[in-house]
Amino acid sequence: MLQLSFIREKTAEVIDRLKLKNFDGAEVISEILRLDDIRRETQKALDDLQAQSNTLAKEIGKLFKQGKTQEANTLKENTAELKLKAKDLDEKLESTRKELDELLVRVPNLPHTGTPSGRTAEDNEIILSEEALIPSSGEYLPHWDLASKYDIIDFTTGTKITGSGFPLYKGKGARLQRALINFFLDEARGEGYLEVQPPYMVNAVSAFGTGQLPDKDGQMYYAPVDDLYLIPTAEVPVTNIYRDTILKARDLPVKNAAYSACFRREAGSYGKDVRGLNRLHQFDKVEIVQVTHPEKSYQALEEMREYVAGLLRKLELPFRIVKLCGGDMSFTSALTYDFEVWSAGQKRWLEVSSVSNFEAFQSNRLKLRYKDEAGKIHLAHTLNGSALALPRIVAALLEINQTHEGIMIPEVLKPYCGFAMIN
RNA sequence: GGAGAGGUGGGUGAGUGGCUGAAACCAACAGUUUGCUAAACUGUCGUACGGGAAACUGUACCGGGGGUUCGAAUCCCCCCCUCUCCGCCA
């Protein structure tokens, strides 16, 4: 959620920058400003009225104590009218606030000035491509064939148990999952992230705090009996640790890492996108989250980008980093880097990580603030990134490391796996 | 799931209708003292939204929502949460 004060002060700039996200904000913004004027006006009137009531009430109390019942009762009569007026104003204030909020919540975050313009993934800017490891020739089976060949991922049984998009990992397949999770968590810890283990279900307030509600309502699994949502990413519970919090400036940056299973309905996906491990309803991911000082958030973003790149290098996977254009970026993000690994079997890039700076957009909803040295309170910045999401990493690993003898495990993972080859 | 107790500022905790945005203590922060640390002393110490150039000031908030009243942290109703006991159980 954008800050009202910012919209008020930099109206033209806000509208202008929203265009980068292909969002025509002119109308909404002016409506927001209009409602905000009404809101402030109404509040002023209501406050004044209540100030009057308060003084009256005090006087009445005093008169009663002095035994001046007659005078007190006369004053009492005056309060009836005040109350009526106050009620009106209160209702007006409430409804204006609600209207204002509904509009405000639907305005996306402003893209960073360095954001490439464009509408679709085609317009994204490739800022780094490490393709040396891409095999120039040879037969490479897609991972779903390898999965059944070595009996390490059983999609059919997963479908039987639950439904499509819920694979059953078996034997070395299951152990590889566990190895990757541990590897990612250990690496994150080495980078200064505090490991946390969050709940996998969240309440509506939390889902709202990070922007999943109302924006992505239909994408989350929902348990109506208890009114809880299954998390689509650990970002939700981890960032919500700091909801309604005022941190001390010296506590920044906060760095957390969490493994979680992630649940996504992925309504509307189909075709080659959902084949094998490409897109699942349940998958594993290690997420890194940072809460930073506003002036440090872009530096943190670059650090996170370097960190994720380092992970992919250690895994010896060809990858590229893409800076998302305005149209491809998420609602809440100001700047996002996507990481894509090369799928040797499918001959295409697969997204495995998304690293974003949300600036104060999430903080504003979350009421996540920090107190500076002078005791002033400001919104902090939040960032997060996958480090990393497992399924497509597994897909890429299986495909690129296949040999006639079996699938080779990358050096860094061997101690975690406890085996060097899947055969 | 059943029964009971309770939810007050960063923490402990006082407050049962007006003088309480909230005592006291602890923690925290700043200063004095000190060779340093500690101790002691002094001071500061909730948030949000308004008004004001500023000093300052108005309103709201004592789990959440509603109600009674001229006036509610305090009384009433609903909801949520926590704790204790019982039941069940990884």
Residues A167 and A282 in one domain: yes
pLDDT at A45 (0 to 100): 93
pLDDT of residue A84: 86
Is there a single domain that holds both residue A242 and residue A388? yes
Q: Using one digit for the tens of pLDDT, what is the confidence trace for A106-149?
A: 899 999 998 999 999 999 999 999 998 999 888 999 999 999 99
Q: Are A172 and A215 in the same domain?
A: yes
Last residue of a domain, one of A71, A104, A137: A104
Looking at residue A109, its amino acid is N
Domain extent, residue A94, equals 4-104
- Whole-angstrom Cα distance, residue A239 to residue A231? 12
What is the pLDDT at residue A168?
96
Answer whether A131's CB lies under 8 Å from A319's CB: no
**Structure tokens that stand for A149 in this block:** 């060949």
CATH number for A398? 3.30.930.10
Residues A173, A176, A182, A188: is their CA dihedral positive or negative?
Answer: negative
Q: Which residue has the higher pLDDT, A292 or A203?
A: A292
Note whether residue A361 is domain-resident: yes
CA of A144 to C1' of B66 (A): 58
Are A261 and A351 contained in the same domain? Answer: yes
Q: List, in sequence order, every beta strand (DSSP E) within A49-155.
A: 125-130, 153-154
A160 CB below 7 A from strand B atoms? no
Q: Which residues of A284-317 are buried (b: 16+ CB within 10 A; e: fewer)?
A: bbbbbbbbbbeeebbebbebbbebbbebbeebeb
A194 assigned to some structural domain:
yes
Does residue A216 carry a pLDDT above 80? no
pLDDT score recorded for residue A64: 83
Is residue A212 pLDDT above 90, yes or no? no
Sequence-distant (≥ 6) Cβ neighbours of residue A156 within 8 angstroms: none
- A415 CA vs B28 C1’ separation (Å): 46
Residue A134 belongs to a domain: yes
Check if residue A48 sits with its Cβ under 7 angstroms from strand B.
yes
Q: How far is CA A13 from the centre of its chain?
A: 25
Structure tokens of A45? 């009137």
Asked if pLDDT for residue A314 goes beyond 80, the answer is yes
- Please tell me the total count of domains within chain A: 2
Q: Are A77 and A96 in contact (CB under 8 A)?
A: no
Residues A83 and A215 grouped into a single domain: no
Quote the tokens at residue A296.
């440090």
Confidence (pLDDT) at A311: 98
Q: Looking at per-residue confidence, does A237 or A72 come out higher?
A: A237
Query: Residue A49 maps to which CATH number?
Result: 1.10.287.40
- The most confident of the ranges A207-221, A258-272, A368-382, A383-397 is A383-397
Last residue of a domain, one of A104, A131, A153: A104
Distance CA A136, CA A82 (A): 82
Percent share of chain A, pLDDT over 90: 72
For residue A305, give every residue at least 6 positions away whose Cβ sits within 8 Å of its Cβ, in sequence order, or none: A321, A337, A355, A385
> Looking at the predicted structure, is the pLDDT value of residue A268 above 90?
no
For residue A173, give the nearest of A189, A190, A188, A157 by alpha carbon. A157
Q: What are residue A322's DSSP bridge partners?
A: A126, A338
Distance A94 CA to B78 C1' (A): 21
Residues A229, A234, A236, A238: what is their CA dihedral angle, to the nearest 10 degrees?
A: 130
**Dihedrals φ, ψ of A259, to 5°?**
-90, 140
Q: pLDDT tens digit string along A143-188? A: 999 999 999 999 999 999 999 999 999 999 999 999 999 999 999 9
Q: Do A268 and A138 belong to one domain?
A: yes
Average pLDDT over residues A35-51: 93
Q: Sign of torsion, CA A162 A164 A166 A170? A: positive
The verdict on A98 and A129 lying in the same domain is no
Q: What's the pLDDT score for residue A12?
A: 93
Quick one: A338 and A231 in the same domain?
yes
Q: Is the CB of A101 under 7 A from strand B?
A: no
Q: Are residues A72 and A211 in the same domain?
A: no
Predicted confidence band of residue A266 (pLDDT cuts 50, 70, 90): confident
pLDDT: which is higher, A74 or A403: A403
Report the helix count and the strand count for chain A, using DSSP H and E: 13, 18
- pLDDT tens by residue, A124-136: 999 999 998 999 8
pLDDT at A231: 93
Q: Are strands A168-169 and A421-422 parallel, antiparallel or unpaired?
A: unpaired
Per cent of chain A over pLDDT 70 is 100
Is A56 among the domain residues?
yes
Q: Residue A272 pLDDT > 80, yes or no?
A: no
A28-66 as b/e: b if 16+ CB within 10 A: bbeebeebbebbeebbebbeebeeebeeeeeebeebeee
Q: Is residue A353 part of a domain?
A: yes
Tell whether A139 and A43 lie within a shared domain. Answer: no
Task: Reduce the DSSP state of residue A385 to 3 states and report it.
Answer: strand
Single residue among A61, A79, A104 that ends a domain in this structure: A104
Q: Is the CB of A203 under 7 A from strand B?
A: no
Torsion, CA A14, CA A20, CA A21, CA A22, rounded to 10: 100
Domain contains A248: yes
Residue A116 falls inside a structural domain: no
Average pLDDT, stretch A331-346?
95
CA A403 – CA A417 distance, rounded (Å): 18
Residue A8 falls within a domain, yes or no? yes
Q: Which 374-393 residues of chain A approach strand B with CB closer than 7 Å?
A: 377
Q: Would you state the pLDDT for residue A372?
A: 85
Nucleotide nearest the Cα atom of A244 (by C1'): B47
Nucleotide of closest approach to A3 (CA, C1')? B49
pLDDT for residue A151: 96
Residue-level pLDDT at A411: 97
Closest CA to A136 of A397, A400, A320, A418: A400
Does at least one atom of strand B sit less than 7 Å from the CB of A285?
no
Taking all residues of chain A, what is their mean pLDDT, rounded to a whole number?
A: 92
pLDDT for residue A391: 96
Average pLDDT over every residue of A56-63: 88
Distance CA A124, CA A145 (A): 31
- The nucleotides of chain B lying under 7 Å from a protein CB are 18, 47-51, 58-60, 70-71
Structure pTM? 0.92
Do A129 and A99 share a structural domain? Answer: no
